[in-house]
A and B are shown apart, each in its own frame.
Chain A
Amino acid sequence: MVVGTLCGMEFLQPATWAEAVAAKAAYPQAMPIMGGTDVMVELNFDRHRPEYLLDLTRVTDLAQWAPENGHIRLGAGVSYTRIITELGGPLPGLAMAARTVGSPQIRNRGTAGGNLGAASPAGDSHPPLLAAFAEIEAESARGVRRIPAAEFYTGVKRHALAPDELIKAVLITPPAGPQQFCKIGTRNAMVIAVAAFSLALHPDRREVGTGIGSAAPTPRRAVAAEQFLAGALASDGLWESRGPLPDTVGRRFADLVADAAAPIDDVRGTARYRVHALSVMARRALVWAWNDYREA
């Protein structure tokens, strides 16, 4: 009995990054698979029958991370578990998000690279990457390019990669100030975010980074909120003085974050709830981040 004649699928297993890039060039329709936490669900439930599966788990380079020129080069294949245990210092926002992903089993296999490849608006890694102004390094046989996170997500489960490109790494300069991440779920584990919010303070740049999840067609920044807060902190000399943050600033920030969302009603929650939840998370996250900044 040969099943393959009915539902042909080829399993490509490059041993090196160069081989992987070449394989994707030869078969742009190939579906990359790393931890499998998204791809295998699609296969198991017959949502997808790709002609080629491109297994990246043999490309050991992808599972490395290293400091490099002031930023962290996070290989696309580093598991969430390792992000939590090894990068909680420099990237606490991403580590907090990683801790909310699925379950220990999922975290052992799932990766930020895979999360980016799926580009779901609910992906847990996206808000902290946006807040940290991260860049995604994509490579193809045609060369390497860096895509700012804010430009990476182009639509619901759509990203800016060309069909022949693979995600090699995420480049993140650890924000100089405190980071926060909050995620709404109606259960304490294995839950897709109803809404999520990430915040990073960048005192060295006098900038604020934010990321909103599950409340728009794509993960997105709350740009007006960021600019407002950065402006308020600057004009009141708060970056330097680390004085108390006025309530009015916190409330306005929260409103602007909520305004940046464009959520829908779905099985997990209503649009009205998502907007409300974002404003509460934004206000609380700012209080916590500012308190951390004051005590630093």
Chain B
Amino acid sequence: MSDGQKERGPVLTVPVRPRPRPGGVPGSEAGARDEGIGASAGRPDGIPKVTGEFQYASDLWLDGMIWGVTLRSPHPYARIRSVDIGPALATPGVSAVLTHEDVPGSKLYGLEIVDQPVLAVDTVRYQGEPVALVAADHPEIARQAAKKIVVDWEVLEPVTDARTALGLDGGAGGGAAGEVPRLHPGGNLVRHLRLRKGDPDPVADVVVTGEYHVGMQDQAFLGPESGLAVPAEDGGVELYVATQWLHVDQRQICGALGLPPDKVRLTLAGVGGAFGGREDLSMHVHACLLALHTGKPVKMVYNREESFFGHVHRHPAVMRFEHGARRDGTLVYVKAQIYLDGGAYASSTPAVVGNAGTMGIGPYVVPHVQIDAFGAYTNNPPCGAMRGFGSVQAAFAHEAQMDRLAGALGLDPVELRCRNAMAQGSQAPTGQVIDSPAPVEEMLRRVAALPMPPPAAWANGGAGAVDLRDLPGGVANTTHGEGVVRGVGYAAAYKNVGFSEGFDDYSTARVRLEVLAGEAVATVHTAAAEVGQGLVTVEQQIARTELGVHQVTVHPKDTAVGSAGSSSASRQTYVTGGAVKAACEKVREGALAVIQRRLGRSVPGLRLAGGKVISDTEGVVGELAGLLGDEVIEETVEWRHRPTYPVDPETGQGFAHVQYAFSAHRAVVDVDTELGLLKVVALDCVQDVGKAINPQAVVGQIQGGSAQGMGLAVMEEIQISGGKIRNPSFTDYLIPTILDVPPMQIEVLEYPDPHAPYGLRGVGEPPTISSGPAIVAAVRAATGLPLNQIPVRPEHITGTG
């Protein structure tokens, strides 16, 4: 399979969009815009998004709706002695004030561990934890009423360090082990993943060690948390919400409301980005509670400040790594301890620990591995899913270690990586054999061979005027070239695709084929959340390819169809794509059976393409629309990838992940070494996507993911002090602007995965993983500094911390 692919050439060029022919109506070009898989088909939601008509969750409106707001704890750790809602309830315009007492079902919910209160009962464990809800005619009335709720707090000393929480020495939180409070009944350990492979006492010629710190990143999706809950006549509720997984939301809402699933009906509202931050509940139960209590539709929208408190963040990490290698650069062993601060509630911490632990050494072959990865409860903000999910943190450490090792061995950093690169047939640290292409070496060599950006214009002795925009600091005029040094860095990474360790990972698709107005049209109905990645386009493209129709309607996403699983783990194109493909295959089978009957004779080798029914032997047999007639073919398929298995609790060995995805980055960074300011000049990537279902969308995902990795490397951090967020706003939580993100050359490889639909590989996460480490490597090259902490700050470069 891969040989055939190699002959064809694995590198995909993304075509520049053709300009419309003069006189043509824009948007009406036939061809790419309505093609099947492999084409850069246009998005079905594109036109509404550019005209401002697309309805995001925050745009929802219903006559008679009222507004809900949340009262949140100002304290990271406190007991609630009493709550007086009287003055709030008495405020004109207020319809309801609710506390935990008004939660009819389970008071707790959670993705993996059911440990999180819908509304705080007697304890709050993080700053921002919801305590009460207010519904009123205008959000301002609700806000002011919420301020009138009187809570009698007993403020407690928060636990603010993961290692302290676990009772380990060296924790920054202070206090002897015995004094650390148990934040949850089971103690402060959420999960310990233990991975042991090979010799417990391996010997190496050269050993390098390091301790690495990764700060807390935020998903910073632009669309604020929003939803509209509408009470239904049957005593149930309809919830329109921006989310990543309708059915897991439904399950938790049903638990809290004490209602069965057919009474809690969710529809996906427009999502303004997610990146992991919508995998957990935010206002879902809250809005439903208020709606059921008041009998009115209730809308809730968080502003940006509340958003920082309203969703989980990326786990900050402290990691100690030890790499041992032979003189020739062959890796012998890796030992690592990874501490992830999970904050107040578990969220996805167990899975993040699993990822960081099982993939913590990077895309390299290492015979002897000892990893201990820990997730801890603290009173810091809860952490959970964010694009890259544990691999991001580990990659910062393992890539720094590879460069450190290269330095110790006198080897080129790319060469060292290539010598140890995984390939098809390699064994992962879990003992799993990589059973599909893994072109790590090729990606590294290709990214290293990409054209470098031109040498800095200002470096040539200042001939001619300096363009500040080319320099670190830009028009803020901090340098005209003084002190600026250019560095180049490389990194490679990998990530699992799909839910792992034995999780029953599946998706459901309902596909319908019928003739409307003389044309054969398909409808695809899944619950898979479109969060911007272009899944709706993929669904259309698959139906076009499998059914040979041009017109495909994507049905609104809701819980009327079975679960599609989460829009996370880079899994949707694989799993929901697989479900849509499988449903289309069944529909096609049914349609062809109908057509055979209509033809009244047996015609061999029938297939559907271009709106026609075609026979291998007879050519075009007829128009699909004509032959289908009144017949409606509809199939619903629940589709699974091949199973994964839990890892052994002592050794971490097992077939844990169904697919791996790999990427490599090169970064070129100009550093003002005297001021510690930097400019990322180029950030190039090579990534293997197996099969690019939509090449333009694939490149867009790689570029977007790279920018997020860059943000973590050089500017993004939720700063916590005493458990409190110091910068809950876009003023001081900085994400890259268009003046910060450099040009990005992206090379896409297509080595099919024989186990996956169309050979595709998940795309979204790897670019977020290898980008940041490449940038930090470049800054190290420019400055000679170890830089063991991200985001890199000017203080780190200038030594003025």
Which chain A residue has the least Cβ–Cβ distance from B482?
A284
**Interface presence of A66 (CB below 8 A):** no
Q: How far is the CB of A119 from chain B (nearest CB, A)?
A: 17
Which chain A residue has the least Cβ–Cβ distance from B795?
A273
Interface positions of A from 182 to 229, Cβ below 8 Å from B: 182-192, 194
Q: How far is the CB of A287 from chain B (nearest CB, A)?
A: 8
Q: Is the CB of B476 within 8 A of A100?
A: yes
Q: Is the CB of A187 within 8 A of B734?
A: yes
Which chain B residue has the least Cβ–Cβ distance from A273?
B800
Interfacial chain B residues near A270, Cβ < 8 Å: 795, 800-801
Q: Is the CB of A6 within 8 A of B141?
A: yes
Interface positions of A from 153 to 205, Cβ below 8 Å from B: 180-192, 194
Main secondary structure of the interface of B (DSSP, over half): loop
**Interface presence of A7 (CB below 8 A):** yes
Q: Is the CB of B480 within 8 A of A1?
A: no
Cα A187 to Cα B473 with chains together (Å): 8
**Interface presence of A48 (CB below 8 A):** no
Q: Which of B28-36, B323-331, B533-541, B736-744 sits within the interface? A: B736-744
Q: Which of A21-29, A130-138, A241-249, A274-282 sits within the interface? A: A274-282
Interfacial chain A residues near B737, Cβ < 8 Å: 187-190
**Interface presence of B715 (CB below 8 A):** yes
Interfacial chain B residues near A180, Cβ < 8 Å: 477
Interfacial chain A residues near B732, Cβ < 8 Å: 192, 267-268
Interfacial chain B residues near A284, Cβ < 8 Å: 478-480, 482
Interface positions of B from 134 to 185, Cβ below 8 Å from A: 137-138, 140-141, 143-144
Of the candidates A186, A190, A288, which one forms a contact with B677 in the assembled complex, judged by CB atoms under 8 Å apart? A186
Of the candidates B144, B483, B727, which one forms a contact with A7 in the assembled complex, judged by CB atoms under 8 Å apart? B144
Q: How far is the CB of B725 from chain A (nearest CB, A)?
A: 10
Interfacial chain A residues near B92, Cβ < 8 Å: 5-6
Interface positions of A from 238 to 292, Cβ below 8 Å from B: 267-270, 272-273, 275-277, 280-281, 284, 288
Which chain B residue has the least Cβ–Cβ distance from A99?
B475
Q: How far is the CB of A96 from chain B (nearest CB, A)?
A: 6
> Known: A3-B141, A7-B140, A269-B794. Contact between A188 and B478, CB under 8 A?
no
Of the candidates A3, A187, A191, A273, which one forms a contact with B140 in the assembled complex, judged by CB atoms under 8 Å apart? A3
> Known: A99-B475, A183-B477, A186-B677. Contact between A277 and B794, CB under 8 A?
yes
Q: How far is the CB of B205 from chain A (nearest CB, A)?
A: 40
Interfacial chain B residues near A190, Cβ < 8 Å: 730, 737
Q: Is the CB of B303 within 8 A of A184?
A: no
Q: Is the CB of A188 within 8 A of B476?
A: yes
**Interface presence of B116 (CB below 8 A):** no
Q: Is the CB of B739 within 8 A of A272?
A: no
Cα A5 to Cα B136 with chains together (Å): 14
CB-CB contacts of B643-683 with A at 8 A, as 1s and 0s?
A: 00000000000000000000000000000001111010000
Interfacial chain A residues near B798, Cβ < 8 Å: 273, 276-277
A-B contact sample (15 more), CB < 8 A, given A6-B144, A100-B475, A187-B739: A3-B140, A6-B93, A45-B303, A99-B475, A184-B677, A186-B714, A187-B736, A189-B737, A192-B731, A192-B732, A194-B794, A269-B794, A276-B798, A277-B798, A280-B675
Query: Which residues in B have some Cβ–Cβ distance to A below 8 Å?
Result: 91-93, 137-138, 140-141, 143-144, 303, 305, 473-480, 482-483, 674-677, 679, 714-715, 719, 726-727, 730-732, 734, 736-740, 793-795, 798, 800-801
Closest 6 CB pairs of A and B: A188-B739, A272-B800, A273-B800, A183-B476, A188-B474, A189-B737
